[in-house]
């Protein structure tokens, strides 16, 4: 299957942030949630910044992040407050292999171990109720081909 090439980090790339809801496992200081969703109920998802991401671009970015970083900081700044401990990108191929319905949500599901006491307290009180990812991408109009 042909997959889009990785977006290079260049001066014309722009930061992208996405926020998604989380579930927590209190006894293990784990937070689970969709870090990014590309397709939901068969429809392409447009985020709060008006951006969309191809599931295979998301897969490439998540694999790179998992291999090279696995670090979360608080509000995209400061020291590490959590570590990625599980990651699965639900591509059409993974959805099929798991026997899930074909219209199952396509996206990146993650689990994080929160190792910072102050951040864990904010998760427990609900002050932090979602995941926010940050990355760099080249913005193109929908339907515009890659240069």
110 touches 29 (CB < 8 A): no
pLDDT digit string, tens, across residues 23-42: 666 678 999 899 999 999 99
pLDDT digit string, tens, across residues 72-111: 888 778 888 999 999 999 999 999 999 999 999 999 999 9
Q: Where would I find the H helices in 15-136?
A: 55-68, 92-97, 117-125
Residue 44's pLDDT is 94
Mean pLDDT score, 125-135: 81
Whole-number mean pLDDT of the chain? 81
Residue 17's pLDDT is 43
């Amino acid at each position: 299957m042909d997959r889009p090439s990785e977006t290079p980090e260049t001066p014309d790339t722009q930061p992208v942030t996405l926020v998604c809801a989380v579930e927590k496992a209190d006894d293990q200081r784990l937070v689970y949630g969709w870090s990014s969703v590309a397709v939901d109920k068969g429809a392409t998802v447009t985020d709060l910044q008006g951006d969309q991401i191809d599931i295979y671009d998301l897969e490439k970015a998540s694999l790179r992040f998992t291999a090279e970083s696995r670090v979360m900081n608080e509000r995209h700044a400061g020291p590490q407050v959590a570590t990625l401990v599980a990651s699965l990108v639900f591509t059409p191929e993974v959805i099929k292999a798991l026997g899930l319905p074909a219209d199952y949500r396509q996206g990146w599901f993650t689990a994080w171990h929160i190792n910072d006491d102050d951040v864990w307290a904010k998760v427990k009180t609900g002050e932090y109720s979602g995941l926010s990812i940050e990355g760099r991408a080249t913005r193109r109009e929908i339907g515009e081909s890659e240069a």
